[in-house]
Amino acid sequence: MLDHTKLNLVLEGPEAVGKTLLAKMIAAGRKSFTIDGRKLSGRFPFQAVPLDTEVLIIDDLPEKCVRDWCYQLFNGLLVERKGLDRIWISPQVIITCRDIEHRSDLRGASFDARFKIIFVDYRLPF
C-alpha cells in the first residue's frame, strides 16, 4: 500500500521553467530514479527501477497521460522484470509535465490524499 506520509507531486508548467530541477532538489539526499515520461510504455515500464528507490521522478510525461498514470500509481509501483517475481514498492512519485488535460478529472478526496498538483513558472519577466 502507498504510504500516505509521502507527498506525491505533479509539477506542471510551461517548457523550460525548472520543473525537473525542482523535482531533483526535492529528491536530493534520497535514493532517486528518473524515467523519461515520453518513453514510458510497454509491458514492463518500471523494470529498471531499483527496488530501494525512495523517490521516482517521471520527467516530461505527456499531458494526456498524466491522469492515467496518477491513478495507476495510487497503490504503489509494480516493478515487474522479465522472468522474475513482481514486486510492489512505494516510493514518493514526482511527475513533471506541461499543462494537464482534463484537470477536473484529477479531483476528489482519493486523488487529493495521494497527489498534490503544483504549477511551476520561474521564468524571469524580461
Q: What is the pLDDT of residues 77-102, one digit of tens each?
A: 889 887 888 899 999 999 998 876 55
Burial of 101 (0-12, 13-18, 19+ CB in 10 A): middle
Structure confidence by residue, pLDDT tens digits, 42-55: 778 898 999 999 99
What's the rounded Cα separation, in Å, for the pair 70 and 65?
9
Q: Which residue ranges make up each domain of the chain? A: 8-40+50-119
For the question of whether the overall pTM of this predicted structure is more than 0.95, the answer is no
The rounded mean pLDDT for the chain is: 81
Structure confidence by residue, pLDDT tens digits, 34-43: 999 999 887 7
Phi, psi of 22 (to 5 degrees): -65, -40
Angle, CA of 24, 113 and 3, to the nearest 5°: 65
Specify the CATH number of the domain 8-40+50-119: 3.40.50.300
pLDDT at 126 over 60: no
